[in-house]
Amino acid sequence: MALLLLDSASLYYRSYFALPESITGPDGTPVNAVRGFLDTVAALVRDRESTSVIACWDVDWRPQWRVDLVPSYKTHRVAVDLTVDTTSDDGSVEVVEEVPDTLAPQVTVLRTLLPLVGIPVAGAADAEADDIIATLCVGGVADIASGDRDLLQLVDEETTVLFTGGTSASRGGRPWQVFTPDVVREKYGVLPQHYADLAILRGDPSDGLPGVKGIGEKTAVTLVNTFGGIQDIMRAARNESTGKPMTPAVRRKLLEAEADLPAFDRVVRLAPVRSFTPPSPLTPQVDAARTFADQWGVLRSVDRLLDVIG
């Protein structure tokens, strides 16, 4: 029995693309992401016997401090809101995340509905959901529902990542993969505490992180398992008398990237958010939740979730 932390954006995006838009509410508005999200959470709570659930939210999906460190961070997800902010001195336009037109209204529905069913929504300024998850999973048993590999760095004996995905998951099935320390090591070749070091070295195109040029997955795994974390690897690269093998080509690539590695480290490595107050538990507002759900055609999904939340 554990706290269940939801990487909300990961879950609603996966539900949106897993289920057809022919799933609509009474007015014809697609609710595929809403239904898939709710059914997946209900199945997770039931299967994991979760004692409480918190929906972690991207208040800032691309924090400026991360962009300042690594300008390419999430650039492939960027769109420009052409509505000029007339309150801005320079009349600048806003950089926003590209969200499918039929998904955006569903995100609003979920944001309203979750507190009604007793699931608090947690977020903070200048923080992504991953940062909130890293804060909330400290000091207790927790399951993290996501499809984001970056969260594997949080896995330990008390924290498990549940990789969700696929159509059947969004229809309430249980095809998620449970990542324990042993599973992370088996799949990626490193222990969870070194997953961030692996990601820093090899990069991550899905987040626009370049990594060390010329260092791929296999070489990164070998470096981590031979020398340890980034600091130990770079000490070895600077000092040829370590007594451990490092080819001249790999040493050169590491030293060429040395100036960039501190920025990569800060962007990739998750740490608790300072001055963040965990949300208070919520009591489900059953009547309000069911009325709102009925308006959107997801009453059965809400009833299933209310039943397992108790």
Name 55's bridge partners: 6, 121
Q: What is the per-residue pLDDT for 290? A: 98
- The pLDDT tens digits for 250-292 are 999 999 999 999 999 999 999 899 889 999 999 999 999 999 9
Strand order of the sheet with strand 121-122? Answer: 121-122, 52-56, 3-7, 142-146, 159-163, 177-179
Cβ burial 101-118 (10 Å sphere, 16+ → b, else e): eebeebbebbeebbbbbb
Confidence of residue 193 (pLDDT cuts 50, 70, 90): very high
Please answer whether residues 198 and 207 qualify as being in contact, where contact means their C-beta atoms are separated by less than 8 angstroms: no
Q: Which regions of 93-153 does DSSP assign to beta strands (E)? A: 94-97, 121-122, 142-146
CA dihedral 98, 100, 101, 103 (to 10 degrees): -120
Q: Candidates 3.40.50.360, 2.70.150.10, 3.40.50.1010, 1.10.10.10; correct CATH number of 3-187+272-302?
A: 3.40.50.1010
- The pLDDT tens digits for 43-87 are 999 999 999 999 999 999 999 999 999 999 998 777 644 443 434
User: What residue spans define the domains of the chain?
Assistant: 3-187+272-302, 190-268
Domain 190-268 in the same topology as domain 3-187+272-302: no
CA 278 to chain centre: 18
Q: Residue 236 burial by CB count (10 A; 0-12/13-18/19+): exposed, middle or buried?
A: buried
Please tell me the CATH superfamily of domain 190-268, with its number.
5' to 3' exonuclease, C-terminal subdomain (1.10.150.20)
Q: What is the per-residue pLDDT for 174? A: 59
- The pLDDT tens digits for 107-135 are 999 999 999 999 999 999 999 999 999 99
Tell me how far apart the alpha carbons of residues 282 and 129 are, in angstroms, rounded to a whole number.
Answer: 19
